[in-house]
Chains A and B, each alone.
Chain A
Amino acid sequence: MYLLQSSGIIASQEASLIIQATLLMLIVVVPVFVLLFFFAYYYRAGNHKARYSPNWEHAKMDELIWWAIPLEIILVLGALTWGSTHALDPRKPLPSTVPALQVEVVALPWKWLFLYPSLGVASLNTLEIPANIPVEFHITADAPMNSFWVPQLGGQIYAMTGMDNRLNLMADKPGDYPGYSANYSGAGFAGMHFVVHAVAQKDFEAWVAATASTSPVLDQATYSALRAPSTEQERTYAYRIDLYHAILKQFGH
């Protein structure tokens, strides 16, 4: 359960938020359950000890209380919402001494293409990142609406044609983290999963060097073939052109 196993600074903050909010709401929910079962039991028709007030239908003080209690809980939650929404805004760069690694993501039918514009490499359905370094994702699609989601690292954001959505994540330890699409995009949707390999910085640089020199080249022709609907195995590429902005422009934005 990623709630217990989050490995990203965003995911762990989101997990604590969920737990905090749940606890706050239990302040109201638990009394509701207690009152419900207590009243149901105590005021059952067979219990003649209980007082019966058939016309008691109005009590200002009591009503004030139960307008006030949910109102207060919601005020607290509201403040929590305002704060956390801004703090965990996907577009917000993560605090760090090093610049974020830029990765461009293109949702295709039914696979994920990852482009590293400044590093000369690209990959399909596998995402290699350095651990403990912030990654800024730029996400678009050349496919129906998808959603880029790596639960153990953080929340999702939609991948849409003509839109450039930004998501900032960071893995706080090396490991393999599953990723998915979280928006139905057609018959091959269930095949749109990928793996994020977070590795030590040295290993990441080695991977980049090896991939850039030995992998097949991702050029316009290879890309056009990828646009056709299919599910694919993991693959890596050497990548020296700019496909991302061309893809964005193609859809008129």
Chain B
Amino acid sequence: MSLFGLLTPQAFIHGPIETGAQIIVIVAVLVTVLAITYLGRWRWLWQQWLTSLDPKRIGIMYILLSFVMFGRGFVDALMMKSQQALAVGAPGYISPDHFAQLFTAHGVIMIFFAAMAFMFGIINLVLPLQLGSKDVAFPLLNSISFWLTATGALLLNLSLVVGQFAATGWLAYPPLSELAYSPGVGVDYYIWALQIAGIGTLLSGINFLTTIATMRGHLRLMQMPMFTWTTLGSMLLVIFAFPILTVTLALLALDRTLGFHFFTTDLGGNAMMYVNLIWAWGHPEVYILVLPAFGIFSEVVATFSQKKLFGYTSMVVATMLIVVLSFMVWVHHFFTMGAGADVNAFFGIMTMAIAIPTGVKVFNWLFTMFRGRIIFATPMLWFIGFLTTFTIGGMTGVLMSIPAADFQLHNSLFLVAHFHNMIIGGVVFGFFAGFTYWFPKFTGIMLNERWGKAAFWAWIVGFLMAFMPLYALGLMGVTRRLDHIDVASGLYTQPWAHWLFDIAAAGAAVIALAVLFQIIQIIVSIWNKHKHHVGENPWRSQGPEWQEPAEPLHERSARGVAIGAVAALFGFGLIWHIWWLAALALIGILLSLITLPKPEYAD
């Protein structure tokens, strides 16, 4: 066994486009390092940010991480859209294997490192303040969670430089993800990036739930703001769902690394078991993401309608119902696997049942607007955008929850349109609303409204252009994950197929413009901060987090960074079969856990 396991110089050599990506990553890292050195900011960065235990700083780091990763995931999307527009009856410019890595990486990045990271960022910033607490229950654990997430992102980006990424889809179904069909290190990068980030998430779940339970002061449960309630629901889901992901990824790793047979095609392995396990995690995961977004919208609607949120008790009940029901629907992701009518019908009906509490929330939001005095600041625009797009997405979701209908819609572009409808319309718009809403709280600067509105409109138009054609394409029988369309395939002769792919690609370009507007918005706002400076509660919100100033906290610890670094080495060692590295790193992890300093920080 070589000293470097499977790692050889070959692993650094890629095709032309991947080499471009490789160079961009290396250059980006170099430029960042050089810039920080030139500005003499290493000590500041280390002391004020990287080792900070202040949840507000940890929150901002999460959000910055999510921005960077969203950028990468978005570039993946642009590449896929352009390839599909160019590849009707032609090969396009991206090879099939590269295309598969693109759609896999796109899904993984957007869910884990854009959406989840942003969510934890907002929770870190807002939750303690809404509870009237200065900090979370376990500050050091909070830092560790952040650094484990960052390590996951690091490994994922490292796969661009050395080796490859999984080419299996974002959930890496076996047998395709088993060694027999994915012999390279791609799936191993996938496994360890998610496993490490997943541990960080689980620890955050424990952390935030304990915070809500024990650090509320005199605040009673039924006095908590809606964002706190939805965070509570989301963290309950994290604690119950993420261990399933941990087990599933571990079993796949055991299959690939030690020759076990959980999901292999031979010796009794059962790939359907994987599908069940991964979706038993996967369905709660989407509710983990959307519940805090719902919470943000509750805050935004009330503030910008200048009215109390309607139906608080109903909202709380609906949230908890969603939490419970989200564990009872997972089979709807694979009605077509052949479970039989009784099982399929049961899960279809349970899936529809979730539409009930969600519908209640929609009506409560609408009736918060009723007899309010609505101000159409950017956050409120995001809410309107959410309600329109999410309702369409919800409708197509209930449609697909009917098994016999799903038999025609499953894995088609209709499905792709549906879940982007929910995640962009629900989660992403929610996070944009929250970002714009709370930005002045944590920076004293109001984001420029003109650019904000321009960004909103570009997003809505771009989103509709990019995804509504996909509904039509799905109904035309176009399946997902096609890197090109053969002349001989029935799709080539579908009259509208070319046009629809072109509109979708144009939509992606409009979204790119929207993102550019958002970047400009941030730069302009900070550049002209004297013009955008605002007081303590510029939106005149009744939310508790606005009523008192947020004090910076000065506790620090390098342990989070250390654990993140050692975890990265552990992951890298396992991916490349560099056993001595993995073993040493494991010892390092154990040592850092054993030598945790003070009682309050110990877990």
Contacts and interface: CB of A to CB of B under 8 A. Distances in A.
Indicate yes or no for A touching B, C-beta below 8 A. Answer: yes
Interface of A: 1-3, 11, 13-15, 17-18, 21-22, 25-26, 28-29, 32-33, 35-36, 39-40, 43-45, 50-58, 62-63, 66-67, 69-71, 74, 77-78, 80-82, 84-92, 144-145, 147, 149, 151-152, 154-158, 160-163, 165-166, 177-191, 193, 195, 251-252
Contacts of B403: 81, 84-85, 88
Given A39-B374, A160-B272, 20 more contacts: A15-B408, A32-B363, A43-B371, A45-B374, A55-B308, A58-B313, A81-B403, A84-B402, A85-B341, A149-B479, A155-B336, A155-B404, A177-B490, A182-B480, A183-B411, A184-B176, A187-B100, A190-B483, A190-B485, A252-B268
Contact of A70 (B174, B176, B356): B356
A163 B271 CA distance: 10
Interface of B: 95-97, 100, 167-169, 173-176, 181, 265-268, 271-272, 305-314, 334, 336-338, 340-341, 344-345, 348-349, 352-353, 355-356, 359-360, 362-364, 366-376, 384, 387-388, 391-392, 395, 398-399, 401-412, 472, 475-477, 479-486, 488-491
A13 B399 contact: no
Contacts of A43: 305, 369-374
B374 A40 contact: yes
Contacts of B404: 13-14, 17, 84-85, 87-88, 155
Given A33-B388, A43-B373, A182-B412, A158 B337 contact: yes
A62 B359 CA distance: 13
A56 B352 contact: no
Contacts of A44: 373-374, 376
Given A70-B355, A149-B479, A58 B310 contact: yes
Contact of A36 (B176, B384, B410): B384
A186 B484 CA distance: 13
Nearest to A87: B404
Nearest to A234: B488
A149 B410 CA distance: 10
A77 B402 contact: yes
A145 B173 contact: yes
A2 B475 contact: yes
B359 A28 contact: yes
Contacts of A158: 334, 336-338
B360 to A, nearest CB: 6
B176 A157 contact: no
Q: What 8 A-B pairs are tightest by C-beta distance, nearest first?
A: A178-B490, A155-B407, A70-B359, A151-B477, A88-B404, A66-B363, A144-B176, A193-B489
A219 to B, nearest CB: 23
B271 A190 contact: no
Given A11-B408, A45-B375, A188-B96, A157 B402 contact: no
Given A39-B370, A86-B341, A145-B176, A160 B479 contact: no
B352 A86 contact: no
Contacts of B310: 56-58
Contacts of B336: 147, 155-158, 182
B349 A81 contact: yes
A185 B480 CA distance: 12
A82 B349 contact: yes
B340 to A, nearest CB: 7
Contacts of A151: 408, 477
Question: Which of B265, B307, B412 neighbours the largest number of chain A CB atoms within 10 Å of its CB?
Answer: B265
Given A14-B407, A155-B404, A186-B176, A54 B349 contact: no
Contact of B481 (A86, A144, A184, A195): A184
Nearest to A62: B367
A156 B408 contact: yes
A252 B345 contact: no
Nearest to A6: B408
Nearest to A142: B265
A34 B332 CA distance: 30
B338 A90 contact: yes
A221 to B, nearest CB: 22
A56 B489 contact: no
Given A57-B310, A189-B482, A25 B373 contact: no
Contact of A21 (B345, B388, B405, B485): B405
Contact of B408 (A50, A62, A155): A155
Contact of B308 (A54, A145, A191): A54
A77 B402 CA distance: 8
A43 B355 CA distance: 27
A92 B345 CA distance: 15
Nearest to A51: B371
A28 to B, nearest CB: 7
A144 B369 contact: no
Given A77-B398, A151-B477, A189-B481, A18 B408 contact: yes
B371 A50 contact: yes
A23 B558 CA distance: 58
Contact of B405 (A2, A17, A50, A89): A17
Contacts of B344: 85
Given A13-B404, A74-B356, A193-B490, A160 B399 contact: no
Contacts of A193: 486, 488-491
B274 to A, nearest CB: 10
A165 B339 CA distance: 10
B359 A66 contact: yes
Contacts of B387: 32, 36
Contacts of B268: 252
Nearest to A185: B176
A29 B395 contact: yes
Nearest to B473: A1
Contacts of A185: 176
Contacts of A18: 399, 402, 405, 408-409
B410 A182 contact: yes
Contacts of B410: 147, 155-156, 182
B408 A32 contact: no
A69 B265 CA distance: 47
Nearest to A84: B404
Contact of A184 (B169, B265, B412): B169
Given A2-B476, A3-B475, A13-B404, A186 B373 contact: no
B396 to A, nearest CB: 9
Contacts of B97: 187
Contact of B307 (A54, A67, A74, A195): A54
B345 A86 contact: yes
Nearest to B414: A18
Contacts of B271: 145, 160-161
